[in-house]
Amino acid sequence: MDYCFNGGCWGAVFAVPQSVVDNYVKLANEAAVKVLLFVLRNSGRNFTSEEIAAALNLKENQVEEAFLFWENANILSKGSEPAALPEKEEKAVTAEKPVRKSSIPSGTSYNLKPTEIAERVKNSEDVRVMFTMAEASFGRPLNHTEQRSFIWMHDYLGLSADVLITIAAYCISIDKGNIRYIEALAADWSEKGINTLEAVQEEIRIQEEKNSFNGRIMKTFGMTRRPTAKQQELIDSWKSKGYSFELIEYAYEKTIEAIDKLNFPYINKILENWYSQGLITKSKIDNESQSRKSVKPESEHSYDLNDYKSLVNNFGDK
Protein backbone atom coordinates (compact mmCIF):
# COMPACT_ATOMS: atom_id res chain seq x y z
CA MET A 1 0.00 0.00 0.00
CA ASP A 2 1.29 3.47 -0.91
CA TYR A 3 0.90 6.44 1.41
CA CYS A 4 0.73 10.08 0.41
CA PHE A 5 0.27 13.41 2.11
CA ASN A 6 -3.26 14.79 2.45
CA GLY A 7 -2.98 18.28 0.97
CA GLY A 8 -6.30 19.28 2.47
CA CYS A 9 -4.68 19.76 5.86
CA TRP A 10 -2.56 22.67 4.61
CA GLY A 11 -3.68 25.70 6.49
CA ALA A 12 -1.24 26.38 9.26
CA VAL A 13 2.09 24.61 9.05
CA PHE A 14 5.42 24.67 10.85
CA ALA A 15 8.86 23.58 9.74
CA VAL A 16 10.79 20.54 10.93
CA PRO A 17 14.57 20.50 10.38
CA GLN A 18 15.60 17.97 7.73
CA SER A 19 18.31 16.61 10.02
CA VAL A 20 15.62 15.47 12.46
CA VAL A 21 14.23 13.06 9.86
CA ASP A 22 17.56 12.21 8.27
CA ASN A 23 19.54 11.50 11.44
CA TYR A 24 17.41 11.23 14.56
CA VAL A 25 13.91 9.85 13.94
CA LYS A 26 15.13 6.25 14.07
CA LEU A 27 16.84 6.94 17.42
CA ALA A 28 14.19 9.09 19.07
CA ASN A 29 11.47 7.40 21.07
CA GLU A 30 7.78 8.29 20.93
CA ALA A 31 7.98 10.83 23.75
CA ALA A 32 10.94 12.62 22.15
CA VAL A 33 9.10 12.98 18.83
CA LYS A 34 5.96 14.27 20.57
CA VAL A 35 7.90 16.84 22.56
CA LEU A 36 9.81 18.11 19.52
CA LEU A 37 6.65 18.51 17.44
CA PHE A 38 4.94 20.31 20.32
CA VAL A 39 7.86 22.73 20.74
CA LEU A 40 8.14 23.39 16.99
CA ARG A 41 4.37 23.93 16.74
CA ASN A 42 4.51 26.46 19.60
CA SER A 43 7.73 28.17 18.57
CA GLY A 44 8.28 31.45 20.43
CA ARG A 45 6.28 30.41 23.48
CA ASN A 46 7.73 29.22 26.76
CA PHE A 47 6.41 26.15 28.57
CA THR A 48 7.47 24.32 31.68
CA SER A 49 8.16 20.59 31.48
CA GLU A 50 5.07 20.09 33.65
CA GLU A 51 2.87 21.96 31.16
CA ILE A 52 4.25 20.01 28.22
CA ALA A 53 3.75 16.73 30.06
CA ALA A 54 0.10 17.60 30.73
CA ALA A 55 -0.48 18.68 27.12
CA LEU A 56 1.02 15.48 25.67
CA ASN A 57 -0.18 13.04 28.33
CA LEU A 58 3.40 12.21 29.27
CA LYS A 59 5.27 12.00 32.54
CA GLU A 60 7.47 14.95 33.43
CA ASN A 61 10.62 12.83 33.44
CA GLN A 62 9.79 11.70 29.88
CA VAL A 63 9.66 15.35 28.81
CA GLU A 64 12.99 16.09 30.48
CA GLU A 65 14.54 13.01 28.87
CA ALA A 66 13.23 14.18 25.49
CA PHE A 67 14.75 17.65 25.93
CA LEU A 68 18.07 16.06 26.86
CA PHE A 69 17.98 13.99 23.68
CA TRP A 70 17.28 16.98 21.42
CA GLU A 71 19.78 19.18 23.26
CA ASN A 72 22.49 16.61 22.64
CA ALA A 73 21.39 16.48 19.01
CA ASN A 74 21.77 20.28 18.87
CA ILE A 75 18.15 20.67 17.77
CA LEU A 76 16.80 22.32 20.92
CA SER A 77 18.58 24.46 23.48
CA LYS A 78 17.75 25.95 26.85
CA GLY A 79 17.00 29.64 27.11
CA SER A 80 15.97 32.04 24.38
CA GLU A 81 18.95 31.53 22.07
CA PRO A 82 18.16 29.13 19.19
CA ALA A 83 20.37 26.11 18.68
CA ALA A 84 22.53 25.95 15.61
CA LEU A 85 21.47 23.16 13.30
CA PRO A 86 24.04 20.41 12.86
CA GLU A 87 25.91 20.15 9.61
CA LYS A 88 24.63 17.57 7.14
CA GLU A 89 27.77 15.48 7.34
CA GLU A 90 28.66 15.49 11.00
CA LYS A 91 31.53 13.19 11.88
CA ALA A 92 31.18 11.10 15.00
CA VAL A 93 33.65 11.84 17.76
CA THR A 94 35.12 8.86 19.56
CA ALA A 95 33.92 9.06 23.13
CA GLU A 96 36.43 8.62 25.89
CA LYS A 97 35.87 5.97 28.51
CA PRO A 98 34.50 7.53 31.69
CA VAL A 99 36.54 7.67 34.84
CA ARG A 100 34.88 5.47 37.40
CA LYS A 101 34.30 7.55 40.52
CA SER A 102 32.59 5.01 42.75
CA SER A 103 31.80 1.34 43.08
CA ILE A 104 28.43 1.96 41.42
CA PRO A 105 28.88 2.84 37.75
CA SER A 106 26.87 5.33 35.76
CA GLY A 107 26.33 5.14 32.03
CA THR A 108 25.23 8.77 32.08
CA SER A 109 28.91 9.70 32.33
CA TYR A 110 29.37 8.29 28.84
CA ASN A 111 28.51 11.53 27.06
CA LEU A 112 27.51 10.21 23.64
CA LYS A 113 25.50 12.47 21.36
CA PRO A 114 22.65 11.06 19.26
CA THR A 115 24.79 11.42 16.12
CA GLU A 116 27.54 9.37 17.76
CA ILE A 117 25.05 6.70 18.80
CA ALA A 118 23.67 6.64 15.26
CA GLU A 119 27.19 6.15 13.96
CA ARG A 120 27.77 3.24 16.33
CA VAL A 121 24.49 1.62 15.31
CA LYS A 122 25.41 2.06 11.65
CA ASN A 123 28.93 0.67 11.93
CA SER A 124 28.57 -2.02 14.61
CA GLU A 125 26.36 -5.04 14.14
CA ASP A 126 26.95 -5.94 17.80
CA VAL A 127 25.51 -2.61 18.96
CA ARG A 128 22.68 -2.80 16.44
CA VAL A 129 21.67 -6.28 17.62
CA MET A 130 22.06 -5.21 21.24
CA PHE A 131 19.62 -2.32 20.80
CA THR A 132 17.11 -4.47 18.89
CA MET A 133 17.12 -7.22 21.51
CA ALA A 134 17.05 -4.74 24.41
CA GLU A 135 13.98 -3.04 22.94
CA ALA A 136 12.32 -6.44 22.59
CA SER A 137 13.05 -7.16 26.27
CA PHE A 138 11.74 -3.78 27.43
CA GLY A 139 8.78 -3.96 25.03
CA ARG A 140 9.46 -0.41 23.85
CA PRO A 141 12.14 1.73 22.18
CA LEU A 142 15.16 2.60 24.30
CA ASN A 143 15.43 6.19 25.43
CA HIS A 144 18.63 8.18 25.00
CA THR A 145 19.89 7.47 28.52
CA GLU A 146 19.37 3.74 28.08
CA GLN A 147 21.12 3.79 24.71
CA ARG A 148 24.15 5.49 26.25
CA SER A 149 24.12 3.07 29.17
CA PHE A 150 24.12 -0.04 27.01
CA ILE A 151 27.00 1.29 24.93
CA TRP A 152 28.81 2.25 28.15
CA MET A 153 28.44 -1.26 29.54
CA HIS A 154 29.52 -2.71 26.20
CA ASP A 155 32.59 -0.47 25.91
CA TYR A 156 33.65 0.17 29.51
CA LEU A 157 32.82 -3.19 31.08
CA GLY A 158 33.75 -5.13 27.95
CA LEU A 159 30.55 -7.19 28.01
CA SER A 160 29.18 -8.61 24.77
CA ALA A 161 25.71 -7.90 23.47
CA ASP A 162 24.35 -11.36 24.34
CA VAL A 163 25.64 -11.05 27.91
CA LEU A 164 24.09 -7.61 28.39
CA ILE A 165 20.75 -8.66 26.92
CA THR A 166 20.69 -11.70 29.21
CA ILE A 167 21.41 -9.53 32.25
CA ALA A 168 18.78 -6.97 31.23
CA ALA A 169 16.16 -9.67 30.63
CA TYR A 170 16.87 -11.16 34.06
CA CYS A 171 16.53 -7.76 35.76
CA ILE A 172 13.24 -7.11 33.97
CA SER A 173 11.97 -10.56 35.01
CA ILE A 174 12.46 -9.68 38.70
CA ASP A 175 10.84 -6.25 38.27
CA LYS A 176 14.16 -4.39 38.48
CA GLY A 177 14.42 -3.20 34.90
CA ASN A 178 15.70 0.24 35.84
CA ILE A 179 18.82 0.98 33.78
CA ARG A 180 20.76 1.98 36.89
CA TYR A 181 20.09 -1.41 38.48
CA ILE A 182 21.10 -3.17 35.27
CA GLU A 183 24.36 -1.18 35.20
CA ALA A 184 25.14 -1.93 38.85
CA LEU A 185 24.49 -5.65 38.44
CA ALA A 186 26.50 -5.84 35.19
CA ALA A 187 29.44 -4.05 36.86
CA ASP A 188 29.27 -6.28 39.95
CA TRP A 189 29.22 -9.49 37.94
CA SER A 190 31.95 -8.23 35.61
CA GLU A 191 34.23 -7.53 38.59
CA LYS A 192 33.59 -11.06 39.84
CA GLY A 193 34.62 -12.52 36.49
CA ILE A 194 31.05 -13.35 35.49
CA ASN A 195 31.50 -11.98 31.99
CA THR A 196 30.63 -14.75 29.53
CA LEU A 197 27.18 -15.92 28.47
CA GLU A 198 27.68 -19.30 30.14
CA ALA A 199 28.85 -17.72 33.40
CA VAL A 200 25.98 -15.22 33.43
CA GLN A 201 23.39 -17.94 32.77
CA GLU A 202 24.84 -20.03 35.61
CA GLU A 203 24.78 -17.04 37.98
CA ILE A 204 21.17 -16.33 37.06
CA ARG A 205 20.31 -19.98 37.76
CA ILE A 206 21.96 -19.69 41.19
CA GLN A 207 20.17 -16.42 41.95
CA GLU A 208 16.79 -17.80 40.88
CA GLU A 209 17.32 -20.88 43.05
CA LYS A 210 18.30 -18.66 45.97
CA ASN A 211 15.26 -16.43 45.46
CA SER A 212 13.03 -19.49 45.37
CA PHE A 213 14.55 -20.72 48.65
CA ASN A 214 14.11 -17.28 50.19
CA GLY A 215 10.53 -17.09 49.01
CA ARG A 216 9.63 -20.39 50.66
CA ILE A 217 11.34 -19.34 53.89
CA MET A 218 9.48 -16.02 53.96
CA LYS A 219 6.15 -17.75 53.28
CA THR A 220 6.79 -20.36 55.97
CA PHE A 221 7.72 -17.69 58.52
CA GLY A 222 4.88 -15.38 57.51
CA MET A 223 7.33 -12.59 56.68
CA THR A 224 6.02 -9.51 54.87
CA ARG A 225 9.41 -7.83 54.38
CA ARG A 226 12.68 -9.04 52.95
CA PRO A 227 15.19 -10.61 55.37
CA THR A 228 17.77 -8.37 57.01
CA ALA A 229 21.45 -8.90 56.21
CA LYS A 230 21.98 -11.05 59.32
CA GLN A 231 18.83 -13.05 58.67
CA GLN A 232 19.94 -13.60 55.07
CA GLU A 233 23.29 -14.94 56.30
CA LEU A 234 21.47 -17.58 58.33
CA ILE A 235 19.14 -18.47 55.46
CA ASP A 236 22.13 -18.87 53.14
CA SER A 237 23.85 -21.10 55.71
CA TRP A 238 20.74 -23.31 55.99
CA LYS A 239 20.70 -23.70 52.24
CA SER A 240 24.42 -24.50 52.02
CA LYS A 241 24.12 -27.08 54.83
CA GLY A 242 21.23 -28.78 53.07
CA TYR A 243 18.59 -28.28 55.74
CA SER A 244 15.25 -29.46 54.40
CA PHE A 245 12.20 -27.19 54.39
CA GLU A 246 10.44 -29.74 56.58
CA LEU A 247 13.16 -29.35 59.18
CA ILE A 248 13.26 -25.55 58.98
CA GLU A 249 9.49 -25.33 59.26
CA TYR A 250 9.51 -27.65 62.27
CA ALA A 251 12.22 -25.57 63.96
CA TYR A 252 10.07 -22.49 63.33
CA GLU A 253 7.05 -24.20 64.90
CA LYS A 254 9.10 -25.17 67.97
CA THR A 255 10.32 -21.58 68.26
CA ILE A 256 6.79 -20.21 68.22
CA GLU A 257 5.73 -22.78 70.83
CA ALA A 258 8.62 -21.78 73.08
CA ILE A 259 8.86 -17.99 72.75
CA ASP A 260 5.84 -17.05 70.62
CA LYS A 261 7.78 -14.95 68.10
CA LEU A 262 10.00 -15.28 65.04
CA ASN A 263 13.65 -15.42 66.10
CA PHE A 264 16.25 -16.44 63.51
CA PRO A 265 19.17 -17.18 65.92
CA TYR A 266 16.81 -19.29 68.01
CA ILE A 267 15.67 -21.27 64.96
CA ASN A 268 19.29 -21.66 63.87
CA LYS A 269 20.32 -23.04 67.27
CA ILE A 270 17.53 -25.61 67.16
CA LEU A 271 18.62 -26.71 63.68
CA GLU A 272 22.26 -26.99 64.77
CA ASN A 273 21.29 -29.07 67.83
CA TRP A 274 19.22 -31.44 65.71
CA TYR A 275 21.91 -31.88 63.10
CA SER A 276 24.63 -32.45 65.69
CA GLN A 277 22.55 -35.41 66.94
CA GLY A 278 21.82 -36.73 63.48
CA LEU A 279 18.15 -35.74 63.71
CA ILE A 280 17.53 -34.71 60.12
CA THR A 281 13.83 -35.57 59.74
CA LYS A 282 10.72 -34.65 61.67
CA SER A 283 9.97 -38.30 62.48
CA LYS A 284 13.44 -38.84 64.00
CA ILE A 285 13.05 -35.71 66.10
CA ASP A 286 9.63 -36.80 67.37
CA ASN A 287 10.90 -40.30 68.15
CA GLU A 288 13.88 -38.91 70.06
CA SER A 289 11.63 -36.53 71.97
CA GLN A 290 9.24 -39.34 72.86
CA SER A 291 12.12 -41.49 74.08
CA ARG A 292 13.33 -38.69 76.37
CA LYS A 293 9.83 -38.18 77.75
CA SER A 294 9.48 -41.85 78.62
CA VAL A 295 12.52 -41.81 80.90
CA LYS A 296 11.63 -38.60 82.77
CA PRO A 297 9.28 -38.22 85.74
CA GLU A 298 5.84 -37.08 84.68
CA SER A 299 6.22 -33.82 86.58
CA GLU A 300 9.09 -32.68 84.36
CA HIS A 301 8.66 -30.82 81.14
CA SER A 302 9.31 -32.57 77.86
CA TYR A 303 12.78 -32.45 76.34
CA ASP A 304 11.97 -30.29 73.38
CA LEU A 305 10.03 -27.46 75.04
CA ASN A 306 12.17 -27.28 78.19
CA ASP A 307 15.46 -27.26 76.27
CA TYR A 308 14.23 -24.75 73.70
CA LYS A 309 13.10 -22.31 76.36
CA SER A 310 16.55 -22.39 77.93
CA LEU A 311 17.89 -20.78 74.75
CA VAL A 312 15.74 -17.67 74.90
CA ASN A 313 17.99 -15.56 77.11
CA ASN A 314 21.05 -16.31 75.00
CA PHE A 315 19.68 -15.55 71.54
CA GLY A 316 17.85 -12.33 70.85
CA ASP A 317 16.30 -11.69 67.48
CA LYS A 318 18.69 -9.99 65.05
Model confidence at 6, pLDDT cuts 50, 70, 90, reads low
Instruction: Please state, in angstroms and rounded to a whole number, the distance separating the CA atoms of residues 90 and 73.
Output: 11
Identify the residue with better confidence: 82 or 122. Answer: 122
Average pLDDT of the residues in 118-135: 90
Q: What proportion of the chain, given as a percentage, has pLDDT over 70?
A: 74
Predicted local confidence at residue 297, as pLDDT: 53
Tell me: pLDDT of 123 over 80.
yes
Over residues 167-182, the pLDDT tens digits come to 999 999 888 889 999 9
Over residues 72-110, the pLDDT tens digits come to 666 776 554 444 444 443 333 333 333 343 444 455 556
Identify the residue with better confidence: 186 or 33. Answer: 186
Predicted local confidence at residue 134, as pLDDT: 92
CB 182 within 8 A of CB 157: no
The rounded mean pLDDT for the chain is: 77
Model confidence at 314, pLDDT cuts 50, 70, 90, reads low
Give backbone dihedrals phi and psi of 226, rounded to 5 degrees, phi first: -70, 150
Taking the model in full, what pTM does it have? 0.51
CB 93 within 8 A of CB 131: no
Model confidence at 155, pLDDT cuts 50, 70, 90, reads confident
In three-state form (DSSP H/G/I as H, E/B as E, the rest C), the secondary structure along the chain is: CCCCCCHHHCCCCCCCCHHHHHHHCCCCCHHHHHHHHHHHHCCCCCCCHHHHHHHHCCCHHHHHHHHHHHHHCCCCCCCCCCCCCCCCCCCCCCCCCCCCCCCCCCHHHCCCCHHHHHHHHHHCHHHHHHHHHHHHHHCCCCCHHHHHHHHHHHHHCCCCHHHHHHHHHHHHHCCCCCHHHHHHHHHHHHHCCCCCHHHHHHHHHHHHHHHHHHHHHHHHHCCCCCCCHHHHHHHHHHHHHCCCHHHHHHHHHHHHHHHCCCCHHHHHHHHHHHHHCCCCCHHHHHHHHHHHHHCCCCCCCCHHHHHHHCCHHHCCCC
- Cα 24 vs. chain centroid, distance in angstroms? 28
Lowest mean pLDDT among 102-116, 130-144, 216-230, 294-308: 294-308
